[in-house]
Chains A and B, each alone.
Chain A
Amino acid sequence: MKTRILGWVALAAVAAAVYAALRVVPADLNQGDAQRIMYVHVASAWLGYLSFGVTALCGILWLWRRDLRFDSVAVAGAEIGVMFTAFAIWGGMMWGRPVWGVFWQWEDPRLTTTALLIALYVGYLLFRRLADDPERRATRAAIVGIVAAVDIPIVHFSVEWWRGLHQGATIGSPERILNPAAPAQFVATLVGMVIAFTLAWSYLMIRRYQLAQSELAREEAARIDRITGARTAEVAR
């Protein structure tokens, strides 16, 4: 029931934030209407980081506590993280074409490390399908998830470490957080979109976790069935 309420609140928040981004905030003086894409692009990128961070953290917790619930959260984080990172890339491309003149540039470190990040977690999801035993799968996936997370800080700081097309932080750095490089109205809309998307993310994480738990229970029941069936066959012989 609480999750359902969260879902409705998230839906209302996303609708309000999208309305503000498309209808309330004025077009940017230099970037024009293309600037409106920034709100969903930045919110999606943040949730990509958060999701993969959760996957890595739950991988560590699984290795430490051996509780399969952590593995269920980890797979939810990876799947939802891939989706949000794909949204961030798509939004960035739709913004890049009118503002930079190109959809994509492989020489840019932020773009290339983000492409690597999504490839790593798509690999994580594919890798999970290789093992049938839930515990073995969780252990292998945890290692991949932890190693892949090394790319998260590289993506984030790539704009400061190397030169490229992508601009530096607008609000997301210690010196920018109290002195953002954008007008207050734009920053407020961005923060609103980030909150709305984070609510939607929380709802999806809970639902995906529930699905993973239910898949696990079904897998376990099928395994017990197979063992019981084999024993019955043996006794009958």
Chain B
Amino acid sequence: MTDLVFVAAGYIVIIGGLALYTVTLWRRLRNR
């Protein structure tokens, strides 16, 4: 059960970070 906390933390940061970077990049490109 405690392992799942680490799995969740790992995936949330990595997939969330990927999504955040993609959206930021896309918005910066659109505003040009």
Contacts and interface: CB of A to CB of B under 8 A. Distances in A.
B4 to A, nearest CB: 6
Interface residues of B, number: 20
Given A207-B25, A218-B32, A40 B6 contact: no
Nearest to A36: B7
Interface stretch (A48-56, A90-98, A136-144, A184-192): A90-98
B6 A95 contact: yes
Contact of B18 (A14, A97, A211): A14
Contacts of A32: 3
A204 B25 contact: yes
Contacts, number: 68
A40 B3 contact: no
Nearest to A37: B10
Interface in A15-34: 18, 22, 32-34
A97 B8 CA distance: 13
B18 A200 contact: yes
B28 A211 contact: yes
A95 B10 contact: yes
Interface of A: 7, 14, 18, 22, 32-34, 36-37, 40-41, 44, 83, 86-87, 90-91, 94-95, 97-98, 200, 203-204, 207-208, 210-211, 214, 218
